[in-house]
Structure 1
Amino acid sequence: MSQVRSFFFTKLLTSCWASGFFALLFGIAGTFSFSPFHFWPAAILSLFGLLSLTLNCSIKQSGLIGFCWGLGLFGSGISWVYVSIFEFSGMSATISLFIVLLLVAYLSLYVLLFSCLLVALCPQTTWWRLTLAAPVLWHITEYLRRSVFTGFPWLQFGYTQIQGPLQGIAPILGVEGITFILMIVTGLLIYAWHERLKSALLLALAFLFLPWPLRYLDWFTPEPKKAVQIALVQGNIDQSIKMDINSINDILQIYKNETLPDIDKASIIIWPESAIPDIEKNQKKFLKEMDKLFREHDSSLITGILGEKKSSAAPIHDLLFNKVIVIGQKNPYAYPAMNSYEKHHLVPFGESIPFENMLNRLTPFFNRPMSSFSSGRYEQAPLNVKGLNVITAICYEIILGQQIRDNFKPNTDFLLTISNDAWFGHSIGPWQHFQMARMRALELGRPLLRVTNTGVTALIGPRGDILAQLPQFTRQVLSATLIPTYGITPYARFGIWPLCSVTMIMGGIALYCSLHTSFWLNQKGKREH
C-alpha cells in the first residue's frame, strides 16, 4: 500500500500541471525574501524550486513552469501596482486587476524564456547546466527585463542580500553580481541534492558564506570635516490633495511651517518629489521669498518641483519636466534655477504614455495628471549645495544602478533620492523601493538621503545601513548629521564589465560542455544502433 501511495505521489509531482502549481508557490515564496519581510533564505528556496522543477522536462514543460513561477513572484511581489491604479485612477476593480495581470504576465515571459533556453541548450542534468548555464542565462534574461520597453528591474534577488551573507559583494560587482552568485549557490545545492554529493554542498556553502567578511571591508573614508546638519521634511500630503490645483498654497504653507523650526539648525533642508506641485515659473514669487529667507539663515533648500521649457521641435508646445532645484545659495535665486536636475528615466504609463493619443480615448487611466513629462539628459552635473556634490535620482530612478553609477563622480559627497510613494498606499511597494535605495549607497560607498512624501524617509549610511528613519504616514522632520565620504568602490570604477566578462567565459564553457556532451551521446547512439 505504501508503494502505491508513493507511486501516485511521484506521478503527481511529475505531472505538468502539478509542477506548474508548485512553481507558482515557489515564486510566491520569493517575495518573502524582499522588504518588508527580509527573510533572505526564501530567495534561495524560490530559485531552488524553479531550477529543480525544470529537471528532466521538455522545453514546453519547462516554459510552463517558468511562466507559473513568474506569476507567483510578480503576482505577489508587485501587487502594490493595483493600489496605484484602483485607488488613484478612478478605474473599476476589474479593469485595474486586468491591467496588473497583464503586467505580471509580461514579466513572467522573461522567466519562461530563461526556462526554455536552459532546457534547450542543456537538456541533461549536469553540473555545468546548474552552475554555469543557469547563472549566465538568468543574467541575460534579467538584463532584457531591465532594458526592453525602458525596463522594469523590480524584484532582483540580489537586493535580498542587503542584510545577508553576500552583502559585501555589492561594492565589488553590484546587485547583479549578487544575483549571479545566488544562482550559482542554488545550482550547487540542486546538484548536491540530485547527485547526493557532499562536495557540491560544501562548495555551495563556501560561495554563500565565505564572502561574509567582505562586509567589513571599507571602500570609503568618512570626511568628518565636511559634516553637515540636514533636515528631511516628510510632508505626508494626501495624494488626492496633492494633485488639486486649488490646494497648492495650502501645501506650500505646510512645508514652510514644517521647515521654519529647523532653518537655523540645518545647513541643508530637503523637501520630497514635487513638494511644490506646480511649474517653477508659476511659483517665482514664492521661490524668491524662500530663497531670501534661507540665505538670511545661511541655509539651503533642495526641493522637488515641475519644470518647463520651450520645445525646439514644436515651439508652440512646452516640455514638462520632473525636476529638483536648489535655492538659498550665495547668489540670489533667478528663474529658471540653474542648480537643478531633471528626471531622465520616466515611468511608462505614469509619467509618459506610449501611444498617448490612442490610449487616452480608451480609458481615463492614461489621461492622469502629470502623465506627459519629457526626459532629462542621461548624464547630468551633480547638484552643488553648501560646497558638496550631490548625485540625484527622482523616485523610480534609484532602482537603476547603472544610471546612478554612470552619473557618479569621484568627488561625489553623497547621494540623494526624493520620491512620492503615496501612489502605493499602505502596500509593500514603498518598502521594496526603500530596500533598493539602500543598495545604491552600498554599491557606491556613499551616504544616501531618501526624502519622501509619506515615507520611508531616512538617512542611509555608506554600508547600506539605516542611520535614522521616520515612520510612514506621519508629518515630521528628520534632523541628523550627514558625514560625506570619499573613495572609489570597484563597482563605481568598473561597473558591470567584470561580471559581463565572467558571464561570457562561463557561458562559453557551458556551451562547449553541452555541445561536447550532445556530440558524444549522438555518437554513442549511432554505435548502439
Structure 2
Amino acid sequence: MSESPARSRPLLPLWAAVIAAAISACLMNFAYPSAAIWALAFPATALILLALIGRRAGGALLVGLVYGIVLFALLVSFTSRYLGPIPWAALSVVEGGLTGIALILTALAYRWMPRAFPGTAGRLLGLPSVVAALWVGREVFVGSWPYGGFPWARIGMSQAQSPLAPLSSWLGVSGLGFLMVLLVAMLIEVVRLRAWQRPLRLVMPAALVLVLLFTPLFPTSDSGLLRIAAVQGNGPSGYFDQREPFSLIQAQTDATTPLYGEDVDLLVWPEGSLDTDPFQNESLARRMTSIATRIGAPLLANAATGRADRYFNTSMLWTDAGGATQLHDKRHPVPFGEYVPDRAFFNALAPDLIGLIQREYTPGENPPVVDVDGVSVGLAICFDVIYDDVITESLHAGAEVLVFQTNNADFRGTNENLQQLAFARMRAIESGRSVVNISTVGTSQIIRPDGTTVTSLDADEAGAMLEDVELRTGLTSGVVLGPWVQLLLVWGGLVALAVAWWRARKKPVS
C-alpha cells in the first residue's frame, strides 16, 4: 500500500503555511505569561504542524524560521528593555533559526512515515508519536546548544496553571510536552483519515484526553515544616541603576526589619541582594552577621564573588558566627549577560554592547543545596530554574524544599518575571516540593507542592513573606524517570525517522 499523491502534497500552499506559522507563534506566545492562556498551546501546535505537512526541506525551513523567529521575538521581547533591539533580534534569530532547522525533521516525518507505515496504526499512532518525539528533540536541541542553550520556550512550561501540569510529576516537563503534541498530532490524523466514521479509532485520542486532564500528582511524603522568611528589598539592583555604596543591602535590611522578633528558621534574600563580595568587604560582612544574629537564623544571600582570579554568581548561607561555609555558584551563567563566549569575535561585531559586560562569570561546580539545621534546601539562581540538571541534582541530594533566588530588575515593566515565576511553579509540581521564589523587585511567591500560591509580593514593592513552608521527601517519577523519558524520546524519534526513511525509499509514490 503506497501513499497517494494527495497525501504527499502540502495541505497548505506555501504563502498560507507561512501565515499559519506566524499565527501559531502568536498563539503559543499567549500560552505563556503574562496572558497565560494555556489552552492556546494546542491550536498553536496544530497550526504549525498543518503548515509543515507535505513540505520539502526548503519549504519546511522557511515555515520553521517564521514560526521560531516570531515566537522568540514575542516571548523574549523583555531582552530589549535596557540593551535595545540588537540583542533581542540576535537572540530571536539564533533561537528561531535553530527551531527552523529542527522542524525540517517534522516535515520529513510527515512525508516518510505514511509511506513506511501506511496502516491505520501507523497513521493514528506511529506518525503522531514520531512527530511528538521530534518536537521534544527540538526543544532539547535548542535548550542545550550553543553555549549551553536556552530552554525557555518548552511547551510543557506553558501549563503551569492548567489541569495538565500534574503529568510533569510522572513524566517530567518533556514527557508532558510529548503527550500534548501527541494529542494534537493524533487529532490531525483523525480528521485527515475521517476516523470518526469508525468510532473505535477514537478510543486512543479520547483516552489520552482523560490522561491529560485527570492524572493526579505523584505522591511525596510530608517531612515537617521550615519557617522561611523571604525578603524583596526592591533596591536599585538593575545593571544600569544608579546606586550609593551599600544601597542594596540597605534596601534588603529595611524590608527585613519588620521580621525582627519573629520565629524564623531561614532568612532568604534574592540574587543580587549584596553590593559586593562580603568575603572581601569586612563592613558588609559585619552587617550580614548582625542581621543573622538579630533574626536568629542563617541568611541565604547572593553576590558576585571572586576566588582564585575567577568570578562567580554565588549564593551563601551566612550565619551569626560571621561567615559562610556553604556556597553554591550559579551553574549556567547567562551568555552575553554574565559572560561573553568568543569575546574577541563578538567584540568585533558590537564593541559597545560587548564592552558593557566586564566580568566573566565561571560556571559553578558545587552542589545546588545547603543544609539548614538538618533540612536540605535545594537552590537555583535566576535562569538556572529552567535547566533540568540543576533541579534534578538538588533533589537527588535530598532537597526537601526549593529556593529560587532571582534578580529581575533589568526587566522591570516586562513579563519576564511572570514567565520565570511560571517555570518555578512547574518545578514545584514536577518535583513535589514547595518553592520559595524570591526576586529583588518582584513578583515573589511561596508556592505549595501542588503549584498553588501560599503568599505573594507584588512587583516594584518592598516587603517580606514569612510562612511555615511544607517540607517533602521522596522523589517523584518525573524526577527519576523524566531524564530517561526525555532521552528515549530524543533518540527514539530520530531512530524512528531513520527507519521510516529506509522503508519509504523502497516504496515509490504512486
TM-score, normalising length from structure 2? 0.88
Q: What secondary structure sits across from 1:305 in the alignment? A: strand
Report Cα offsets for 1:14-39 as digits up to 9, x if no partner. Answer: 43233212211111110111122221
AA aligned to 1:475 is A
| Paired position in structure 2 for 1:440 | 427
| Paired position in structure 2 for 1:319 | 310
Of 51, 54, 57, the match for 1:56: 54
The answer to whether the aligner puts 1:146 opposite 2:133 as a matched pair is no
Change in Cα spacing, 1:241 to 1:109, as seen in structure 2 (3 Å) is: closer
Q: What secondary structure sits across from 1:368 in the alignment? A: coil
Say whether the 8 Å CA contact 1:410–1:487 is kept in structure 2: no
Report Cα offsets for 1:431-483 as digits up to 9, x if no partner. Answer: 11111111112121111111101112110111222221111111111122212
| Paired position in structure 2 for 1:223 | 223
AA aligned to 2:322 is Y
Structure 1, unpaired ranges of 5+: 1-10, 87-96, 311-317
Q: What secondary structure sits across from 1:496 in the alignment? A: helix
Counting only pairs closer than 5 Å after superposition, residues 119-134 of structure 1 correspond to structure 2 as 119-123=107-111, 126=114, 127=123, 130-134=127-131
Structure 1 residue 380: Cα displacement:
1.1
Counterpart CA distance in 1 for 2:356 and 2:108 is: 44
Q: What secondary structure sits across from 1:416 in the alignment? A: strand
Report Cα offsets for 1:120-146 as digits up to 9, x if no partner. Answer: 354157326741221122222221111
AA aligned to 1:478 is M
Say whether the 8 Å CA contact 2:235–2:247 is kept in structure 1: no
Structure 1 residue 218: Cα displacement:
4.3
Q: What secondary structure sits across from 1:483 in the alignment? A: strand
Change in Cα spacing, 1:12 to 1:121, as seen in structure 2 (3 Å) is: closer
Change in Cα spacing, 1:290 to 1:508, as seen in structure 2 (3 Å) is: closer
RMSD: 2.5
Change in Cα spacing, 1:422 to 1:41, as seen in structure 2 (3 Å) is: same
AA aligned to 1:275 is S
Of 228, 244, 247, the match for 2:244: 247
Of 245, 250, 258, the match for 2:255: 258
Q: What secondary structure sits across from 1:519 in the alignment? A: coil
Counting only pairs closer than 5 Å after superposition, residues 369-380 of structure 1 correspond to structure 2 as 371-377=359-365, 380=367
The answer to whether the aligner puts 1:74 opposite 2:63 as a matched pair is no
Structure 1 residue 288: Cα displacement:
2.8
Structure 1 residue 508: Cα displacement:
4.4
| Paired position in structure 2 for 1:209 | 210
Of 438, 456, 480, the match for 1:451: 438
AA aligned to 2:246 is N
Say whether the 8 Å CA contact 1:80–1:427 is kept in structure 2: yes
Deviates more, 1:134-143 or 1:364-373: 364-373
| Paired position in structure 1 for 2:104 | 116
Say whether the 8 Å CA contact 1:24–1:68 is kept in structure 2: yes
Report Cα offsets for 1:169-204 as digits up to 9, x if no partner. Answer: 111221111111111111111111222222555533
Report Cα offsets for 1:360-407 as digits up to 9, x if no partner. Answer: 464322122564212211x51621223321111111101112321023
Counterpart CA distance in 1 for 2:29 and 2:406 is: 23
Change in Cα spacing, 1:106 to 1:260, as seen in structure 2 (3 Å) is: same
| Paired position in structure 2 for 1:26 | 24
Say whether the 8 Å CA contact 1:319–1:373 is kept in structure 2: yes
Counterpart CA distance in 2 for 1:158 and 1:233 is: 30
AA aligned to 1:219 is P
Counterpart CA distance in 2 for 1:521 and 1:403 is: 48
Change in Cα spacing, 1:286 to 1:103, as seen in structure 2 (3 Å) is: closer
Say whether the 8 Å CA contact 2:339–2:357 is kept in structure 1: no
Say whether the 8 Å CA contact 2:234–2:251 is kept in structure 1: no
Of 326, 333, 338, the match for 2:322: 333
Change in Cα spacing, 1:370 to 1:322, as seen in structure 2 (3 Å) is: farther
Deviates more, 1:388-397 or 1:291-300: 291-300
Counting only pairs closer than 5 Å after superposition, residues 480-519 of structure 1 correspond to structure 2 as 480-501=467-488, 504-505=491-492, 508-509=495-496, 511-513=498-500, 515-519=502-506
Change in Cα spacing, 1:241 to 1:140, as seen in structure 2 (3 Å) is: closer
Aligned-pair identity in percent equals: 20
Change in Cα spacing, 1:289 to 1:29, as seen in structure 2 (3 Å) is: closer
Counterpart CA distance in 2 for 1:511 and 1:212 is: 33
AA aligned to 1:470 is L
Structure 1 residue 267: Cα displacement:
2.5
Say whether the 8 Å CA contact 2:136–2:489 is kept in structure 1: no
Structure 1 residue 505: Cα displacement:
4.8
Counterpart CA distance in 2 for 1:249 and 1:84 is: 23
TM-score, normalising length from structure 1? 0.85
Counterpart CA distance in 1 for 2:295 and 2:98 is: 54
Structure 1 residue 320: Cα displacement:
1.3
Structure 1 residue 504: Cα displacement:
4.4
Structure 1 residue 297: Cα displacement:
4.6
Report Cα offsets for 1:232-257 as digits up to 9, x if no partner. Answer: 1111123458765x613233222222
Counterpart CA distance in 2 for 1:369 and 1:511 is: 44
| Paired position in structure 2 for 1:315 | none
| Paired position in structure 2 for 1:392 | 379
Say whether the 8 Å CA contact 2:237–2:272 is kept in structure 1: no
Of 281, 284, 307, the match for 2:282: 284
AA aligned to 2:214 is P
Q: What secondary structure sits across from 1:291 in the alignment? A: helix
Say whether the 8 Å CA contact 1:229–1:479 is kept in structure 2: yes
Of 287, 292, 295, the match for 2:293: 295
| Paired position in structure 1 for 2:459 | 472
Structure 1 residue 325: Cα displacement:
1.0
Counterpart CA distance in 2 for 1:241 and 1:353 is: 16
Of 354, 361, 364, the match for 1:366: 354
Say whether the 8 Å CA contact 2:444–2:457 is kept in structure 1: yes
Structure 1 residue 155: Cα displacement:
1.3
Change in Cα spacing, 1:12 to 1:21, as seen in structure 2 (3 Å) is: farther
Deviates more, 1:401-410 or 1:346-355: 401-410
AA aligned to 2:107 is V
Structure 1 residue 493: Cα displacement:
2.4
Change in Cα spacing, 1:357 to 1:434, as seen in structure 2 (3 Å) is: same
Q: What secondary structure sits across from 2:508 in the alignment? A: helix
Of 75, 85, 91, the match for 1:103: 91
Say whether the 8 Å CA contact 2:10–2:53 is kept in structure 1: no
Largest Rg, 1 or 2? 1
AA aligned to 2:363 is S
Change in Cα spacing, 1:457 to 1:504, as seen in structure 2 (3 Å) is: same
Structure 1 residue 163: Cα displacement:
2.5
Counterpart CA distance in 2 for 1:457 and 1:255 is: 14
Structure 2, unpaired ranges of 5+: 1-8, 115-122
By relative contact order (CA 8 Å, sep 6+), the higher-ranking structure is 2
| Paired position in structure 1 for 2:414 | 427
Structure 1 residue 328: Cα displacement:
2.4
Say whether the 8 Å CA contact 2:380–2:390 is kept in structure 1: no
Say whether the 8 Å CA contact 2:445–2:457 is kept in structure 1: yes
Q: What secondary structure sits across from 1:352 in the alignment? A: coil
Say whether the 8 Å CA contact 1:118–1:129 is kept in structure 2: no
